[in-house]
């Protein structure tokens, strides 16, 4: 068997089309959704991500600001920026790009973001709502995974899902979302990680395997069962002398080794990545809708 490729670009395009319609509805009422991205330091991957988000905003009619600060920025200065964005009526979504320099406590910054403008879904207020199934600003990458599965009619209900990775950004939230008593959930979920024993035995149980480890090609063909759905969240740079950039992007999954065994598989790039930006745009518009509704 050969897997069906799960096309994140296609699904993200459909979501963005719906987002653009929502933006136009808000603009007809005199409201333009606004997103501010704060970039501290000169990490090239972070700069690329922020640039992609600004470009998406421009395409969809969302107002955007990119605030750049040097790596020497203090925590107090960054918190001050966040507080000013909280008070700015033109801004409905605030994104502080990770990773931050070592002198800054990321959680301390997150706690100062107005939960209504927390379009990453990382504030404990929004994490708590997600855990009880009441969240509306959900973490972008996990929510994007759900939307991908929904598009391809991959219903997780009653199926065994193994999430490899326990980050607060992907692993924990996708597990929490998939165990909800709700549509596109009701799964039996196992979280595996770097301390899991006999990892291959755990992953081979999965009807749906979600790899969010951050290490290239960790999941091999021998680690999945026949017909498994494989969702690869990883984006890793590996050196490649033949490339003009000097590197190429690969996932946490050995795509070639799993392709003939899986039923569905996401590519890297072009799988989960485009969904993250699409869901960020959706969250920004959701925040604008909520804020404008409560202020009217």
180: domain CATH number is: 3.40.50.720
Cα separation, 72 vs 56, whole angstroms? 29
Burial class (CB in 10 A: 0-12, 13-18, 19+), 19: buried
Residue recorded with tokens 């395009």:
13
For residues 111 and 177, state if they share a domain.
no
Catalytic residue among 97, 114, 252, 254: 97
Q: Which structural domain range is residue 266 located in? A: 140-273
Q: What is the pLDDT of residue 296?
A: 62
What percentage of the chain reaches a pLDDT higher than 70?
Answer: 99
Question: Is 53 an annotated catalytic residue?
Answer: yes
Tokens of 187: 């799964």
The answer to whether the beta carbons of residues 60 and 282 sit under 8 Å apart is no
Note if 105 is an active site residue.
no
Q: Provide the token pair at 203.
A: 């992953």
Tell me the pTM. 0.95
Q: What is the pLDDT of residue 236?
A: 87
Structural domains counted in the chain: 2
Instruction: Supply the pLDDT for residue 237.
Output: 82
Q: Are residues 107 and 144 in the same domain?
A: no
Tell me, yes or no, whether 94 and 209 share the same domain. no
User: Looking at the predicted structure, is the pLDDT value of residue 101 above 70?
Assistant: yes
Residue whose tokens read 């750049």: 68
| C-alpha span between 241 and 148 (Å, rounded) | 33
In a domain, 145, yes or no: yes
Q: Which residue is associated with the tokens 């035995």? A: 201
Catalytic residue among 16, 53, 147, 261: 53
Report if residue 73 sits inside a domain: yes
Choose the final residue of a domain: 60, 83, 116.
116
Return the bridge partners of 93, or none. Answer: 35
Mean pLDDT of the chain: 96
Classify burial at 70, counting beta carbons within 10 Å of its beta carbon; exposed 0-12, middle 13-18, buried 19 or more.
exposed
**The pLDDT of residue 142:** 98
Tell me, yes or no, whether 147 and 215 share the same domain.
Answer: yes
pLDDT at 242 over 70: yes
Residue 295 reports pLDDT greater than 80? no
Nearest Cα neighbor of 173 from 217, 220, 141, 148 is 141
Helix ranges (DSSP H) in 118-222: 124-131, 140-151, 171-178, 199-203
Domain of residue 44, CATH code: 3.40.50.10860
pLDDT tens digits along 48-92: 889 999 999 999 999 999 999 999 999 999 999 999 999 999 999
Q: Is 97 a catalytic residue?
A: yes
The catalytically annotated residue of 114, 117, 118, 120 is 120
pLDDT, one tens digit per residue, over 111-165 is 999 999 999 999 999 999 999 999 999 999 999 999 999 999 999 999 999 999 9
The residue ranges of DSSP E strands in 84-228, in sequence order, are: 93-96, 160-164, 188-192, 208-211
């Amino acid at each position: 068997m050969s897997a069906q490729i799960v096309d994140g670009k296609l699904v993200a395009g459909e979501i963005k089309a719906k987002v653009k319609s929502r933006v136009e509805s808000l603009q007809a009422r005199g409201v333009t959704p606004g997103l501010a991205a704060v970039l501290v330091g000169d990490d090239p991957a972070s700069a690329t991500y922020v640039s992609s988000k600004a470009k998406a905003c421009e395409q969809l009619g969302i107002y955007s600001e990119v605030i750049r600060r040097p790596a020497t920025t203090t925590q107090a200065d960054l918190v001050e920026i966040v507080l000013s964005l909280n008070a700015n009526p033109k801004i409905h979504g605030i994104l502080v790009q990770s990773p931050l320099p070592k002198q800054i406590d990321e959680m301390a910054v997150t706690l100062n973001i107005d939960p209504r403008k927390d379009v990453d879904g990382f504030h404990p207020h929004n994490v708590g709502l997600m855990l009880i199934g009441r969240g509306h600003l959900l973490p972008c990458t996990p929510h994007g995974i759900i939307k991908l599965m929904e598009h391809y009619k991959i219903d997780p209900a009653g199926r065994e899902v193994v999430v490899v990775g326990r980050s607060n950004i992907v692993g924990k939230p996708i597990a929490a979302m998939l165990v909800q008593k709700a549509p596109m959930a009701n799964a039996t979920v196992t979280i595996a990680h770097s301390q899991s024993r006999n990892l291959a035995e755990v992953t081979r149980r999965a009807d749906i395997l979600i790899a969010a480890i951050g290490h290239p090609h960790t999941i091999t063909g021998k680690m999945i069962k026949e017909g498994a759905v494989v969702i690869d969240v990883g984006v890793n740079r590996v050196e490649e002398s033949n490339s003009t950039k000097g590197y190429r992007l690969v996932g946490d999954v050995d795509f070639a080794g799993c392709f003939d065994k899986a039923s569905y598989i996401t590519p890297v790039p072009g799988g989960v990545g485009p969904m993250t930006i699409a869901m960020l745009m959706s969250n920004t518009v959701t925040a604008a809708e909520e804020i404008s509704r409560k202020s009217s």
